[in-house]
Amino acid sequence: MDFDQRAAFLKQVESISKNAAKLMLTAHPAEQAVAKKSRIDLVTDVDLAINQLLCKELAALDSSIDIIAEEGVPDSLKKPGAELAWVIDPIDGTTNFVHGLMHSAISIALYDKREKASLIGLVLNPFRNECFTAIKDGGAYLNDVPTKVSLTHTLIDSLICTGFAYDVKASADNNLAEFSSIIKEVQGLRRLGAASLDLAYVAAGRFDGYFEKGLKFWDYAAGMLLVSESGGTVTTYDGKAVTETGGQIIATNPNIHAALLAAIKNARIQAGLAAVP
């Protein structure tokens, strides 16, 4: 898919996502039916409605493209042999949404399975009217203004973000060791509860870095492109390329990436964990 095709798709995706986001804006969190996929993993009627709308509208753009979505995909829209796939998180940060904390987003990526790379990415937080977009080899933007990662050079001057997987209570490898160690080495450490927005904030220079494990691909498929197209560095915990199945990511400005990798590795070793998850 050439650049012009990617750009045209992104414009259509932005229109589709903003239409879907109206469901988030008009919903009253307290009135939503909330189900539990696990002890603390929630899904609402709005998640399901947006998921359905996005699957339908994206399939209409090109029926040959596969769809991967957090809340499931109708069999008729699945194209597992396709080279390209839409990767959808209808509401990233559902727990925030349920509690009326207006920090959640629609996340959509167009992913090339053969090249193992996202071609376009969008993260939309309608509550702040912020739409982060990126095209591979075409830069990243916040409401059409180019984004750039921060220039911070040291961890002690960095504001870092992280998160915890849904098995935080059940697993011994639950990010608490990393959190407890890294918080002593940085200016500040935050946990906001929406991976796609955490990555978007790194892209926009609001955070200097972000790390998390135990993720699903729809959590970071769009966000990782935002960071890389904003001049950032995105790897796994062992410094390798991020994949659709790895579930782990470290995204920073280039100046602090090696230092954050080393700090996380050391924290894990000190806690008796494997150096790399």
Residues 162 and 245 in one domain: yes
For the chain, percent of residues with pLDDT exceeding 70: 93
Same domain, 130 and 161: no
Helix or strand (DSSP H, E) at 134:
strand 130-135
Segment (H or E) for 208: none
* pLDDT tens, residue by residue, 142-199: 999 999 999 999 999 999 999 987 666 767 788 999 999 999 999 999 999 999 999 9
CATH number reported for the structural domain that contains residue 48 in this entry: 3.30.540.10
Q: What is the pLDDT of residues 227-257, one digit of tens each?
A: 999 999 999 999 999 999 989 999 999 999 9
Residues 90 and 182 in one domain: no
Alpha-carbon span 137 to 259, nearest angstrom: 27
180 within 8 A of 191, measured Cβ to Cβ:
no
CATH of the domain at 166: 3.40.190.80
Specify whether 106 is located in the same domain as 163.
no
Q: Do both 262 and 197 map to the same domain?
A: yes
Residues 68-91 have pLDDT tens digits of: 999 999 999 999 999 999 999 999
Residue that terminates a domain, selected from 146, 179, 206: 146
pLDDT classification of 43: cutoffs 50, 70, 90: low
Range(s) of the domain holding residue 12: 3-146
Domain presence at residue 22: yes
Domain membership of residue 201 (yes or no) is yes
User: Tell me, what DSSP letter sits at residue 70?
Assistant: T
**227 is a domain residue:** yes
Which pLDDT belongs to residue 40? 42
State how many domains the chain has.
Answer: 2
Mean pLDDT of the chain, nearest integer: 93
Same domain (yes/no): 142, 19: yes
User: Which of 124, 146, 168 is a domain's end point?
Assistant: 146
Question: Do 161 and 133 belong to one domain?
Answer: no
Instruction: State which of 146, 170, 195 marks the end of a domain.
Output: 146
Q: Give the burial class of 149: count Cβ atoms within 10 A of its Cβ; 0-12 exposed, 13-18 middle, 19 or more buried.
A: buried
Please check whether residues 7 and 142 belong to one and the same domain: yes
Q: Do the domain assignments include residue 276?
A: no
Query: Quick check: is 67 in a domain?
Result: yes
Same domain, 142 and 159: no
Asked if pLDDT for residue 37 goes beyond 80, the answer is no
Distinct helix (H) and strand (E) counts, the chain = 8, 14
Query: Do 114 and 165 share a domain, yes or no?
Result: no
Assess if residue 55 is contained within a domain: yes
Indicate if 102 and 174 belong to the same structural domain: no
Confidence of residue 27 (pLDDT cuts 50, 70, 90): confident
- 170 with 265, same domain? yes
Helix boundaries (H) for the chain: 3-26, 45-61, 94-98, 176-182, 195-203, 217-220, 223-229, 257-270
- Structural domain includes residue 277: no
